[in-house]
Structure 1
Amino acid sequence: MKRRSELPDREALRERIIGLGERSVHKSYYPELQERMGDLERFRALLDQSHDAIFLIDAVAGVVVDASRSAWEQSGFTRSAVVGAYFLDLIVPADRGRIYAFMDSSAREKKMPGPLVTSLLRSTGDPIPVEITLKLVRFSGNLYAVAVARDITERQEAERELRIKESAIESSTDGILILDLEGRIIYANRAAGEIFGCASPGALTGHAFQAFLTDPDGALSVLRPLALGPSLHGELQGQRLDGSVFDLYVSGSRVKDEKDRLLCLMLICRDISDQKAVEEMKRRAYEQLERNIEQFAVLGDHIRNPLQGIVGLAAMMDDPAAGQILRLSYLIDDIITRLDRGWVDSENVRQFLRRRENFGR
């Protein structure tokens, strides 16, 4: 019979039984297990901080076996509602076939598709526009699909606003040119192509703006001040591809980024040849009006001078016809008086035109 001192220590025996003894095989793996568990927790915390919704899907059953926090928070579901659900049930019905075809066994050897633009379903049934990247992976012999869904609501809204702005620029009746900092055209809308006689706006790109002016130095009068000041406008002589010349009105502004760095120059061009022709026609009409007004004043004096002589002679005549001569003379004088009033009215018209149309200066 062994002595009590030879019996194994009860505490040591207990530690060996539960795997904490000095000779325990489990004890040698315990620190490594703790380290791996810590790595796993940190990795999981990192995934949960991502704004992308990440799903781990059983590629055979199509069931979600795990998901990041964003996957259920963005959709409005609980984690328990997402994990265990069929992944295709979380996608809008119209796009389920594309994702099913990718995860189907007959397609697993095919090339990986690019990102799929589709929509996830919220718990309310409303769609969330997303861009999904799918990848097949194997864990312990099992095939899984990793789906990373990125919310593209803001991107789609920005793209929509950009399309509206592009459509507005393209439909503008004014020619719009965007120039780099060296004065080369990098964009032209449809109206700009028509103004400069191009079959398509693309024919303008790559050319220096000064190539479409009769005086190349005229471009410097626009671009140089524009590079220093916020805006500029003026008139130039434009030249089309066929060599024809026209009157060109140009207004320009600088385009900067959010850090106030100069990116490019934008010019708004307008063919004002017709407008200039109308202005010239108005100017000539105004000059003719002034000549007519002056003639009214001169002719009135020229008529009154001999008329006064006729009246004087008729007054001295002792003849029955003298009364008729005086009556007709007074009638002519009345007509001249009305012409004088018309001259005054014409002068008022001239003053009005000078104020409103800025002609005659």
Structure 2
Amino acid sequence: MEELHNEYPADILQMLQDAAPTLDRRSRERLKAGIEALIAENRNLAARAVQVELERDALLAAIGRQGIVYDADGGVVVAGPGKENRIVRALLGRRDTSGDAAIRYPAGEPVRPEDLPGHRALRGETLKSCRFAIHEPGGEDLHVVVSASPIVMDGVISGAVVAWQDVTGEEQTRRRLEEANTLLEGLFENLGDIVGVQLPDHTILRYNRAGYEMLGMTPEEVRGRKCYDLLGRTGPCTVCATARALESRKREVVEKFVPELGRYLECRASPILDPQGEVAFIVEQLYDITDRKRAEDERRESEATARALLDAPEEMIVLVDAEGRLIDVNETATRRFGLSREALIGMTASELFPPDVAEVYAARLREVAASGRRTRFEDTREGRRYDAVLYPVRDAHDTVTRIAVITRDITEIKQAEDALRKRTHDLNERVKELSTLYELSRIIEQPGTSLDEIFGEVVRALPSGWQYPEDAVARITVRGREYRTEQFRETPWRQASPVIVNAETVGMVVVCYLRERPEESDGPFLREERALIDTVARRLGRTIERFQARECLLKSESQFREIMQQSFDMIYTCYHESGIAYISPAVMRILGYSPDELIGCKCRDYVVPSSLPAWEEGRKKITRGEPVEGLEIEFRRKDGSGAFLELNESPIVRDRTVVGVHVVGRDITERKHEEQLRQQAFEQIERNIEQFAILGDHIRQPLQVILGMTELLEEETAVERIQEQVERINSYVRELDRGWIESRQVREFLRKHELT
């Protein structure tokens, strides 16, 4: 019967008559009418089947032919865009050549055959936007969103439809975005400087890790509070970078001292504007510039002290450059030449001395500049004798660039100087050594990384901060020295920022791409990359400034500095309740105890009784939340001997309560011994001064007696001879008086500068 729609009714009727010759005419007519109606219904059914197939194909085309249709037995009626497609193969449950399941859940576990979307739909489940990963060894993972629903006819599941959408691009974009967010979050959290985000009303949204560490608070304690409230204030700071940024709507920078933190800070506030141009957020960066400020103060103090020391002596002191031109003079030189300091600067020896004397000085200057060694000679002019000393002054490259010339009038004191020279020289050397040792013991030295190591590590880390690190190379040049990554070369795709030290450009930070990249806001570089390279250059400049300041303070005693750098301070953390929680290994060298022996102990138990009053005063300050600096305490070593430590302590605050203390202890036992030796040396100076005075009195009194006795003599020649010798001895005594006065001046100078 399946081909009846292709036959004519008469032919079908003839077939029936042949099959049933006994039918009457009426039966045949009724049979003919029924056959014609049956054929017409069959044609209608065929037309409807064609229409259904067209609608099915249109539906599959409408969803991009991304679908599979199952019959009630799980057979595939149609699968688009083809059964060999990778996604179709996975959804149908076919396995790849390695035997691994082709379709997996997002977490990575394979999908069992009975849990395939089509099979679940045939069991009556409806799936909406379920995510799966299509894995194939050696190929790229595909990500699809699958929907599946059963086909129900008259309450019976007659099939199922599975549709999917390839979201691989969307998933890759999402993952790249997550990686970028993770990178930005890691960069934000691991910045060494303090970075905070706040609302225009000073409400803190968050800080990076350095900010929370500075405040000693957790993110929960900080979030939602005002920035000034975190410092214990009731209103904004008088000098506020955030307020200025809100007004100008551009980045503002201020420097200020924060007494609550005891630090100098450089505050940079950058406004973030919304689409309407209003300030939505403020990003504030805080840089600790305390070391720089203190170095500047120390430098100014050092310059003032140097000027005072330069002007104090009676000797004439001038500083000349390599060409012999005066670049600085002391007050004695201005009085000697009768010219002002400004008039003398820039002049040469030929303009100040007669030609023969000028030639002597010029020759000596050339000798010192060439040899790099100091020289000393005597100069006679206009009936006066001068002792001239030339000292070479070297730059960082060990090149003689300046020469200090110290000239002293020795006409009147030459003879007396021979008797006192050795003693005075020895005394000056001891004073100089004691002064240097005291200054070096006062400076806090900690071993650190050299500039070469810093620049080397920075240049290797730079490419990872750029958009295309695989093609990025970097170079840092500082004062003729160069640090570069492998395969560095100059290219047209270049970004650079100067390294500035004390307002002088000393180098350059350069980042290049090795091949062309898409255009961004700054060539192939992003706007943030410009800010990054500028920040790196500024930080390098500040690092050089810090090293330079340290070198200026320590260059006169480099050997002693190396010894100090190799020593280690004792660092420990102690809580009120549990005692010592951590102590550095240096305690073994300083006190003889291992760290394990002291964990859980109380520091007070090891303090020598004579130091307990000072120790208790320090505890009171810590309890009030105040830091303690320079606290000198004697501790008991393991062998029973005593060790003096200089302690710098900071309170540990939790929930506005002091719960413990961080301590850095420096062994100053040797310095204490040196102070005793220095005191003994100054006591010897005092005794020498007293002996000068006594010696003068013991000589003057007999001389007065001898001079009085001459009045009893009648021989004038003898009287004159005696008076001449008495006057000669008196001149020696006056020279001793001047030596006594100079000794007193040395003593008073040392007392004035707290060296006694």
Please tell me the TM-score bracket, short chain as reference: 0.5 to 0.7
Residue 21 of structure 1 corresponds to 144
* Distance (whole Å) between structure 1 residues aligned to residue 349 and residue 232 of structure 2: 50
Q: Which among 363, 367, 370 is matched to residue 225 of structure 1?
A: 367
Shift of 1:167: 0.7
For 1:183, give the aligned amino acid.
Answer: G
Compared CA separation, residues 40 and 145, structure 1 to 2 (3 A): same
Residue 166 of structure 1 corresponds to 303
Compared CA separation, residues 75 and 4, structure 1 to 2 (3 A): same
Residue 3 of structure 1 corresponds to 72
Asked whether the 8 Å contact 1:92–1:118 carries over to 2, the reply is no
* Distance (whole Å) between structure 2 residues aligned to residue 216 and residue 69 of structure 1: 66
Task: Give the number of equivalent residue pairs.
Answer: 285
Shift of 1:155: 1.1
Asked whether the 8 Å contact 1:92–1:119 carries over to 2, the reply is no
SS in 2 for 1:87: coil
1:116-141, Cα deviation, whole Å (9 max, x unpaired): 111356xxx43221112222233677
Compared CA separation, residues 31 and 170, structure 1 to 2 (3 A): same
Residue 203 of structure 1 corresponds to 343
For 1:252, give the aligned amino acid.
Answer: L
Asked whether the 8 Å contact 2:251–2:268 carries over to 1, the reply is no
Shift of 1:245: 11
Matched, 1:77 2:200: no
For 1:161, give the aligned amino acid.
Answer: E
For 2:291, give the aligned amino acid.
Answer: E
Shift of 1:80: 3.6
Shift of 1:102: 0.7
For 2:175, give the aligned amino acid.
Answer: Q
Q: Which among 389, 392, 399 is matched to residue 251 of structure 1?
A: 389
SS in 2 for 1:226: helix
Asked whether the 8 Å contact 1:195–1:271 carries over to 2, the reply is no
* Distance (whole Å) between structure 2 residues aligned to residue 270 and residue 95 of structure 1: 59
* Distance (whole Å) between structure 1 residues aligned to residue 392 and residue 184 of structure 2: 48
Asked whether the 8 Å contact 1:186–1:206 carries over to 2, the reply is yes
Matched, 1:130 2:265: yes
Shift of 1:162: 0.9
Matches of residues 1-361 of structure 1 in structure 2 within 5 Å?
2-5=71-74, 10-12=115-117, 16-18=129-131, 20-21=143-144, 23-24=164-165, 27-58=168-199, 60-89=200-229, 96-99=237-240, 100-104=242-246, 107-109=247-249, 112-113=251-252, 115-120=253-258, 125-138=260-273, 143-172=280-309, 173-174=312-313, 176-190=317-331, 192-199=333-340, 201-208=341-348, 210-214=350-354, 215-227=357-369, 228-236=371-379, 249-257=387-395, 260-262=397-399, 264-270=401-407, 272=409, 276=411
For 1:202, give the aligned amino acid.
Answer: E
**Would you identify which runs of 4 or more consecutive aligned residues in structure 1 move more than 6 Å?**
91-95, 244-247
For 1:21, give the aligned amino acid.
Answer: V
* Distance (whole Å) between structure 1 residues aligned to residue 180 and residue 399 of structure 2: 47
Compared CA separation, residues 143 and 210, structure 1 to 2 (3 A): farther
* Distance (whole Å) between structure 2 residues aligned to residue 65 and residue 79 of structure 1: 9
Residue 291 of structure 1 corresponds to none
Asked whether the 8 Å contact 1:56–1:65 carries over to 2, the reply is yes
For 1:144, give the aligned amino acid.
Answer: F
* Distance (whole Å) between structure 2 residues aligned to residue 213 and residue 197 of structure 1: 13
RMSD of aligned residue pairs (Cα, Å): 4.6
Shift of 1:47: 3.9
Higher helix share: 1
Asked whether the 8 Å contact 2:203–2:225 carries over to 1, the reply is yes
Structure with higher RCO (Cα < 8 A, 6+ apart): 1
Shift of 1:161: 1.6
* Distance (whole Å) between structure 2 residues aligned to residue 167 and residue 101 of structure 1: 37
1:309-329, Cα deviation, whole Å (9 max, x unpaired): xxxxxxxxxxxxxxxxxxxxx
Q: Which runs of 5+ in 2 are unaligned?
A: 1-69, 77-90, 93-114, 119-126, 133-142, 146-163, 418-712, 737-756
Asked whether the 8 Å contact 1:130–1:152 carries over to 2, the reply is yes
Q: Which moved more, 1:220-229 or 1:94-103?
A: 94-103
Shift of 1:192: 4.4
Compared CA separation, residues 171 and 84, structure 1 to 2 (3 A): same
Residue 331 of structure 1 corresponds to none
Asked whether the 8 Å contact 2:393–2:404 carries over to 1, the reply is no
For 2:345, give the aligned amino acid.
Answer: T
Compared CA separation, residues 194 and 346, structure 1 to 2 (3 A): closer
* Distance (whole Å) between structure 2 residues aligned to residue 249 and residue 181 of structure 1: 21
Compared CA separation, residues 156 and 16, structure 1 to 2 (3 A): same
1:14-63, Cα deviation, whole Å (9 max, x unpaired): 694247426447543222222232233233333444332122222x2322
Compared CA separation, residues 203 and 346, structure 1 to 2 (3 A): closer
Compared CA separation, residues 44 and 133, structure 1 to 2 (3 A): same
Shift of 1:2: 4.1
* Distance (whole Å) between structure 2 residues aligned to residue 167 and residue 237 of structure 1: 33
For 2:295, give the aligned amino acid.
Answer: A
Residue 34 of structure 2 corresponds to none
TM-score, length of structure 2 as denominator length = 0.32
Shift of 1:163: 1.1
* Distance (whole Å) between structure 2 residues aligned to residue 225 and residue 153 of structure 1: 44
* Distance (whole Å) between structure 2 residues aligned to residue 15 and residue 181 of structure 1: 87
* Distance (whole Å) between structure 1 residues aligned to residue 185 and residue 387 of structure 2: 63
Compared CA separation, residues 32 and 169, structure 1 to 2 (3 A): same
SS in 1 for 2:201: coil
* Distance (whole Å) between structure 2 residues aligned to residue 88 and residue 137 of structure 1: 21
Give me the identity figure in percent.
Answer: 15
Asked whether the 8 Å contact 1:170–1:190 carries over to 2, the reply is no
Q: Which moved more, 1:147-156 or 1:171-180?
A: 171-180
Compared CA separation, residues 263 and 231, structure 1 to 2 (3 A): closer
Compared CA separation, residues 49 and 197, structure 1 to 2 (3 A): farther
Compared CA separation, residues 143 and 222, structure 1 to 2 (3 A): farther
Compared CA separation, residues 220 and 28, structure 1 to 2 (3 A): same
* Distance (whole Å) between structure 2 residues aligned to residue 95 and residue 202 of structure 1: 48
